[in-house]
């Protein structure tokens, strides 16, 4: 059981770091960033439906809250992942 927890923790860390670097490396929220977020999620086997749902919620949030800086989305992505997974 300890090995499973360690493995999951390692995967979570890689996903988190990958998304952070992806978000912080951009200047604006655009369709290319959303596609890259979806690709990142899929590469960690989040699943197509979950990845699509997360990206849609990010897009709606960015539009509704007038969020133009990708760094502001890190918490939202984390929350969405926790609620879905």
- CA distances for 69 relative to 19, 45, 52, 85, angstroms: 14, 26, 21, 25
| pLDDT tens for each residue of 8-51 | 455 555 566 777 788 777 888 889 999 998 998 888 888 899 89
Q: How many CA atoms lie within 13 A of 3 on its CB side?
A: 0
**How many structural domains compose the chain?**
1
The span from the CA of 85 to the CA of 83, in Å, is: 6
Q: Which domain holds residue 40?
A: 2-84
CATH assignment of the domain containing 74? 1.20.120.140
Q: In the predicted model, is pLDDT for residue 2 greater than 90? A: no
Q: Is the pLDDT of residue 71 over 80?
A: no
């Amino acid at each position: 059981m300890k090995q499973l927890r360690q493995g999951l923790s390692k995967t979570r860390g890689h996903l988190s770091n990958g998304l952070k670097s992806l978000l912080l490396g951009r200047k604006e929220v655009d369709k290319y960033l959303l596609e890259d977020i979806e690709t990142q999620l899929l590469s960690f086997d989040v699943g197509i439906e979950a990845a699509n749902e997360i990206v849609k919620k990010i897009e709606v949030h960015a539009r509704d809250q007038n969020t133009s800086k990708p760094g502001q989305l890190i918490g939202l992505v984390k929350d969405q992942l926790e609620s879905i997974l």
